[in-house]
Structure 1
Amino acid sequence: MKKIKLSPNFDIYNFSEPFIIAEIGANHNGDMDLAKKMIDSAVDCGAHAVKFQSWTPKSLVSKVEYDNNQKYDDSPKKHFGSLKEMIQKYYLREDQHFELKEYCDNKGVVFASSPFSEVEADLLDKLGVPFFKVASMDINNLRFLRYLAKFNKPIILSTGMASLAEIDRAIKTIESEGNDQIVLLHCISIYPPKYEDIHLNNITMLQQAFDYPVGFSDHTIGFSIPLASIALGACVIEKHFTIDKNLPGWDHEISADPAELRIICKEGLNITKSLGSHQRIVSDAEEAKKGKFRRSAVTARAIKKGEKIKTEDILFKRPGTGISPDEESYIVGRTVKNDIDKDAMLTWESFE
């Protein structure tokens, strides 16, 4: 089973303990104090990494798009100003990257980010990020994938909007540069998606189609769907995160709040532990319960010395420390050595 090291102390593989990424993205709203509060909260919830997005007004959006004044109004929340004004306010400056990386280091949490251009990839490499996260929008950006692959870092690849053929091509593009440290994230690039459009069984499909770990990048409301993905073996969970869903911005309302992220971190680990083995195993603790919970043979009536035991002479009651029900055939027809009271437990010493 292929293992990928996402941090010095964390290897992931299908059905491993899930690596939880709190996707802050642009939810910091350009405010470093808010960003640090989100980092603190994510750490407190148990996240293994916090992830931002590294883009600039020039690297993400073209003049044509700015001229269209598009506001990305697929969210019911009203955004301030034009697209250009939002991009200008929300993007992380270079010095802020260093500030947040140092803050994460001091808090003992992995700092990660999605680069949106080669310049930003260089910056993140300079910061020493342990992996690159590729957004779904770039799965067909083959030149960019080749550039990222050359750093020989793990690449977490979101698969939103992509066909199976596009996923396969992206993998082969990365592999062509000698990099086989790939993690696939099943993803639906709708915010939030309808439940019937999520297709969590794609996690199993991707596990079978490719020899790489598979996780889940979640855009649903709440925590039930990412937890369900962990039960299917998702080994990385990327979940948008905020400390207040009512804050202005693109992703706050579809993000997990601290209460939800804490559940994902805690219960996700419990789910992984509970999946256990495909072998049928009875634990020592369960073995110990047999004596209390199972049944043993007892007499249905008072039986005299020398009588032969008939089927109707036997009942089975707790505790399970005597002759078990599946041994009934070995005692029917046998002769008792002494008088036995009604409702007494039979033992092998009861018979001649």
Structure 2
Amino acid sequence: MKIQLTSNKVVYNYCEPYIIAEIGANHNGDIELAKKMIDSAIESGADAVKFQSWTPESLISKEEYDKNQTYNDSKKKHFGSLKDMVEAYYLTKEQHYELAEYCKSRKVDFLSTPFSKEEVDLLENLNVPFFKIASMDLNNLELLKHVAVLGKPIVLSTGMATISEIEKAIETIESKGNRNIILLHCISIYPPEYEDIHLRNIPMLEKTFGYPVGFSDHTIGTSIPLASVALGSCIIEKHFTTDKNLPGWDHEISADPKEMTEICSQSKNISRSMGNFRRIVSKAEQEKKLKFRRSVVASKPIREGHKVTLEDFLFKRPGTGIPPEEVYALIGKTAIRDIQLDKMISWEDFR
């Protein structure tokens, strides 16, 4: 199945993947840092940059804030309470407009993940080409309905979801007349253990639901998202930062510019190399065959009138003469002329 994702990009499994540099909240609330990241993502070859659209009120309940929760695990560089970080890292409405305009001027697709209906409406006003729904909202059916009626493609992450939950989300979107769905295989651990990634879910989800499938990656490095391309991933979404040592939620597991460049360039090479299921010998290989394959040659001088046996022949380059597999048709024939040692045999030499 093919989906028109943007005005100039159709996606389907095994297509050249559409690469999303997921800046998310890695801008750390700094609009100039956000623009620097956009520039770097473009230089790396990404098709789109994506942010996250939420406010302190739309994302987390007061009860959760009142617990004064903090993130203090050693793998991440955080500060203060959960509320402190949410307030520091969210994008205002005005910043959304500024970043969308900046992306337009730089000719890169602007995207963001909405976390409420109001943020869906904001992104619709900004004319995003499609909507990305985070894994955490796959079962937020009212949000899915609100997005679905807009008719634009929906890229749906499936982290933490069972097959039945994915099916319910798809049915909810389809019930509003929207069948422009792309699923993203996703493991919502930052980073996941390799044995928990299950990249074979990419062809499984495509076979199960009939929609194109991509990969939302939370691993460190480039090998796993590149491997996903060989399994048909039509979209790669990868967290992106200009500096993995910056404070914040996702910098450590994000791709830096060097890694993003590798993902963008090598994913295209992998996609082109996949080809199809038909066995095709290219023109270049056909030409090489003439040089590298072998032909039947005389293993010894052959005299006129000699009835040849298999021992009279060897097989040597180039491959422009009688091919080795046809030597058996020569056995028992009589030479009509003298043939020198190592001379390439022709059918006209025998009767």
Distance in 2, matches of 1:191 and 1:339, equals 77
Q: How far is the alpha carbon of 1:70 from its aligned partner?
A: 2.0
Moved more, 62-71 or 140-149: 62-71
Instruction: Tell me whether 1:333 sits opposite 2:332 in the alignment.
Output: yes
Instruction: Tell me whether 1:83 sits opposite 2:63 in the alignment.
Output: no
Asked if 2 retains the 8 angstrom alpha-carbon contact of 1:244 and 1:252, the reply is yes
Extract structure 1 runs of 4+ deviating beyond 4 A. none
Q: Which amino acid aligns with 2:259?
A: E
Moved more, 75-84 or 185-194: 75-84
Instruction: Tell me whether 1:242 sits opposite 2:241 in the alignment.
Output: yes
Summarize deviations over 1:307-340 as a string: whole Å, max 9, x none: 1111011100111011100111111111112211
Tell me how many residue pairs correspond in the alignment: 351
Q: Which amino acid aligns with 2:266?
A: E
Q: How far is the alpha carbon of 1:99 from its aligned partner?
A: 0.5
Distance in 1, matches of 2:54 and 2:197, equals 28
Distance in 2, matches of 1:348 and 1:73, equals 82
Structure 2 match to 1:345: 344
Distance in 2, matches of 1:71 and 1:38, equals 27
Asked if 2 retains the 8 angstrom alpha-carbon contact of 1:297 and 1:345, the reply is yes
List runs of 5+ in structure 2 lacking aligned partners.
Answer: none
Distance in 2, matches of 1:241 and 1:78, equals 16
Asked if 2 retains the 8 angstrom alpha-carbon contact of 1:111 and 1:129, the reply is yes
Moved more, 340-349 or 175-184: 340-349
Moved more, 66-75 or 236-245: 66-75
Q: Which amino acid aligns with 2:93?
A: E
Distance in 2, matches of 1:177 and 1:30, equals 35
Scaled by the length of structure 1, the TM-score of the pair is 0.98
Structure 1 match to 2:298: 299
Distance in 1, matches of 2:158 and 2:17, equals 18
Asked if 1 retains the 8 angstrom alpha-carbon contact of 2:68 and 2:81, the reply is yes
Instruction: Tell me whether 1:22 sits opposite 2:52 in the alignment.
Output: no
Asked if 1 retains the 8 angstrom alpha-carbon contact of 2:77 and 2:249, the reply is no
Asked if 2 retains the 8 angstrom alpha-carbon contact of 1:75 and 1:250, the reply is no
Distance in 1, matches of 2:323 and 2:151, equals 62
Q: How far is the alpha carbon of 1:64 from its aligned partner?
A: 1.3
Asked if 1 retains the 8 angstrom alpha-carbon contact of 2:157 and 2:184, the reply is yes
Q: How far is the alpha carbon of 1:72 from its aligned partner?
A: 3.8
Residue pairs, 1:106-145, within 5 angstroms: 106-145=105-144
Distance in 1, matches of 2:270 and 2:74, equals 32
Distance in 2, matches of 1:118 and 1:273, equals 39
Q: Which amino acid aligns with 1:281?
A: I
Structure 1 match to 2:60: 61
Residue pairs, 1:88-99, within 5 angstroms: 88-99=87-98
Asked if 2 retains the 8 angstrom alpha-carbon contact of 1:53 and 1:115, the reply is yes
Structure 2 match to 1:279: 278
Distance in 2, matches of 1:19 and 1:73, equals 35
Distance in 2, matches of 1:35 and 1:26, equals 9
Distance in 2, matches of 1:60 and 1:74, equals 21
List runs of 5+ in structure 1 lacking aligned partners.
Answer: none
Structure 2 match to 1:51: 50
Scaled by the length of structure 2, the TM-score of the pair is 0.98
Asked if 1 retains the 8 angstrom alpha-carbon contact of 2:71 and 2:81, the reply is no
Q: How far is the alpha carbon of 1:78 from its aligned partner?
A: 3.1
